[in-house]
């Protein structure tokens, strides 16, 4: 045992020594040491430079795409304990290590003069950072996602001089962004109308500007826009049906952040009758990951006419659209879940539309405890027709897939219990479901039967959704297996 511990300790020490050998090449240990400082101008007194390389300035704290920044510095060789002299004709690099330390991004290069001084000319370019995945697709107008960089200078060394790096500086990168406006010619349309939708683009100076790449989708179908003038486009929709139609605009331009924005075009039946709409969310405040349930009633109630919903996040970005039909007594409900990059804290808005009229409401999303799941799946198992547990199935004999569904919410929940059976090759042999509801604090034990017609091993996946239409998960999936002979 003592030998094993000694051997393990020796291996650890060897690994540590190997790691240091990789980080600091052996030949560098005998080379002349060097020191690299940023913020040192040639007009400065070299003797005033501290050994740590501190100076009054080096890099600005904020840079913007399209700008050019000049960064001074000096590379010196250290001879003895305190003797410093400039290292001439050496190449130094300005790099960012914050976003990819293993493969740092070279921002600029420079050569030292006879006294070791150099000057970086850094052109701040967006596309370079985009290649490393630093720039990511944003959620649209109103989103501010500045990027942090850690900038330092690096000298790789040569046969006679050791490598060195300067101290690092945290710099905030401000991207160039479009301002995109998507404007239908009307706020609301009747059935079978067409809409003219205008799209405009402006730069940070509020000047109209054309994107290099422009894609427009109407209800998930690409539609080519027509150019009106610089930075101004339009398209005509097909005849509108009774729903909230989605518009997605994706724009890109050299040196600009790639943008996507969501908008909507609303079409509904319009009747010349007084309309009353009551629509409220089930809570006043939610957390990220919560379910939101909007309920209410409409008067008069026409079961063939849609109730439409438009939900926007605090930045005004379209987050969710919905359509449902009222029951005979006028009641309705709509559910959605607060997940994804658009689900952010703040004050949200809900617009409910019915028979050409609309009402607006609000709710808050904050940093509060949330429940991602509303239904618990317990004891998933395979059973026979008497509900007795079976570990193996027989050809031609019904096998029941049964689970205990537990509702821990303080209200009844409607649900759809779904079972999918796949064979050992991953091919689906059966999908079936049951719709039901479970009261607050109660449990439900649904069973779905399957009759196997081929021997083999099977995987069974169990899902609980709110419905097949919106497919919002109410529980984590469960998985069991069974063999059939």
CATH number at residue 292: 2.60.40.1930
Q: Are residues 348 and 382 in the same domain?
A: no
| E strand spans, 9-160 | 33-38, 62-64, 68-79, 83-86, 91-96, 105-111, 117-123, 147-155
> Could you tell me the pTM of the whole model?
0.59
Tokens of 247: 């518009």
Task: Check whether 111 has a pLDDT greater than 90.
Answer: yes
Q: Are residues 140 and 65 in the same domain?
A: yes
Residue 336 lies in a domain: yes
Task: Check whether 238 has a pLDDT greater than 70.
Answer: yes
Query: How many whole angstroms from its chain centre is CA 464?
Result: 25
Residue 306 lies in a domain: yes
What is the percent of the chain with per-residue pLDDT over 70, rounded to a whole number?
83
Q: What is the pLDDT of residue 41?
A: 85
Residue 359 lies in a domain: yes
Q: Of 263, 296, 311, which one is at a domain's C-terminal end? A: 263
Taking Cα atoms as reference points, which of 239, 248, 227, 134 lies closest to residue 190?
A: 239
Q: Are residues 313 and 406 in the same domain?
A: no
Task: Check whether 132 has a pLDDT greater than 50.
Answer: no
Q: What is the pLDDT of residue 200?
A: 97
Mean pLDDT of 68-84: 88
Question: How far lies 179's CA from each of 212, 231, 476, in Å?
Answer: 15, 10, 40
Residue 423 lies in a domain: yes
Residue 107 lies in a domain: yes
**The domain containing residue 463 runs over which residues?**
375-484
Residue 134 lies in a domain: yes
Confidence of residue 370 (pLDDT cuts 50, 70, 90): low
8 Å CB contact between 269 and 275:
no
């Amino acid at each position: 045992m003592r030998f094993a511990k000694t051997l393990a300790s020796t291996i650890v020490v060897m690994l540590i020594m190997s790691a240091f050998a990789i980080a600091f090449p052996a030949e560098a240990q005998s080379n002349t040491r060097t020191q690299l400082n940023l913020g040192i101008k040639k007009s400065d007194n070299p003797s005033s430079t501290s050994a740590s390389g501190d100076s009054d300035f080096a890099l600005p704290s904020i840079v913007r795409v399209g700008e050019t920044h000049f960064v001074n510095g000096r590379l010196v060789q250290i001879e003895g304990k305190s003797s410093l002299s400039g290292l001439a004709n050496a190449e130094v690099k300005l790099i960012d290590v914050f976003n990819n330390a293993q493969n740092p991004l070279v921002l600029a290069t420079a050569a030292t003069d006879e006294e070791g001084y150099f000057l970086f000319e850094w052109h701040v370019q967006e596309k370079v950072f985009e290649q490393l995945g630093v720039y990511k697709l944003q959620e649209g107008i109103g989103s501010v996602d500045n990027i942090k960089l850690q900038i330092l200078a690096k000298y790789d060394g040569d046969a006679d001089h050791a490598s060195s790096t300067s101290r690092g500086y945290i710099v905030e990168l401000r991207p160039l962004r479009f301002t995109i406006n998507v404007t239908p010619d009307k706020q609301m349309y009747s059935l079978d109308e067409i809409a003219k939708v205008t799209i405009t683009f402006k730069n940070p100076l509020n000047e109209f500007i054309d994107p290099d790449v422009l894609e427009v989708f109407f209800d998930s179908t690409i539609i080519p826009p027509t150019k009106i003038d610089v930075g101004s486009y339009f398209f005509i929709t097909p005849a509108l049906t009774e729903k909230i139609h989605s518009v997605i605009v994706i724009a890109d331009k050299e040196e600009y952040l790639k943008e996507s924005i969501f908008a909507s075009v609303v079409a509904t039946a319009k009747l010349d009758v007084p309309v009353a709409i009551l629509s409220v969310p089930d809570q006043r405040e939610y957390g990220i990951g919560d379910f939101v349930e909007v309920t209410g009633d409409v008067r008069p109630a026409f079961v063939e006419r849609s109730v439409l919903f438009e939900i926007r996040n605090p930045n005004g970005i379209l987050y969710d659209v919905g359509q449902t039909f009222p029951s005979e007594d006028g009641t309705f409900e709509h559910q959605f879940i607060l997940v994804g990059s658009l689900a952010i804290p703040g004050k949200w808005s809900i617009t409910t539309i019915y028979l050409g009229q609309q009402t607006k409401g609000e709710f808050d999303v904050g940093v509060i405890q949330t429940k991602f799941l509303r239904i618990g799946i317990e004891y998933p198992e395979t059973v026979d027709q008497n509900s007795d547990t079976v570990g193996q199935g027989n050809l031609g004999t019904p096998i029941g897939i049964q689970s205990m569904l537990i509702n821990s919410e303080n209200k009844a929940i409607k649900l759809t219990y779904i079972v999918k059976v796949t064979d050992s090759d991953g091919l689906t042999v059966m999908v079936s479901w049951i719709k039901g509801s479970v009261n607050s604090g109660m449990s439900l034990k649904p069973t779905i039967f399957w009759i196997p017609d081929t021997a083999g091993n099977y995987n069974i996946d169990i899902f609980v959704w709110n419905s097949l239409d919106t497919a919002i998960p109410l529980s984590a999936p469960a998985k069991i297996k069974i063999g059939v002979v």
